[in-house]
Amino acid sequence: MFNPHEVPMSNNAHTSPRPELKRKGLTEQPLQAAQISEALLKLKTVQALTGLGKTSVYARIKTGEFRPIHLSKRAVRFRAGDIQAWLQAQGQ
């Protein structure tokens, strides 16, 4: 009989993470990058700094609150100084 609490033998803790999950370009960006006003921040970093979700960030792009920098069709970055200024304005 199947026991849901048993871990299958092929899935033991000694196996290394699957390398195909570590795709190029998906590395984390340190939050300290936001301290440099000219730094270009990734969407995930902006989300971490602002506490906003992806949809909320894109809604603010649509209203003009955030001005993204398009590096390519799929690569969007945000200037750290703009995000810092937005955060300060929210504190008023």
Q: Could you read off the pLDDT of 42-83 as tens digits, one per residue?
A: 999 999 999 999 999 999 999 999 999 999 999 999 999 999
**Are the C-beta atoms of 70 and 61 separated by less than 8 Å?**
no
Does position 1 have pLDDT exceeding 90, yes or no?
A: no
Taking the C-alpha atoms of residue 49 and residue 73, their distance in angstroms, rounded to an integer, is 24
Average pLDDT for residues 8-21, to the nearest whole number? 53
Share of the chain above pLDDT 90, in %: 57
Whole-prediction pTM value? 0.68
- Please report the pLDDT score of residue 33 as a whole number: 83
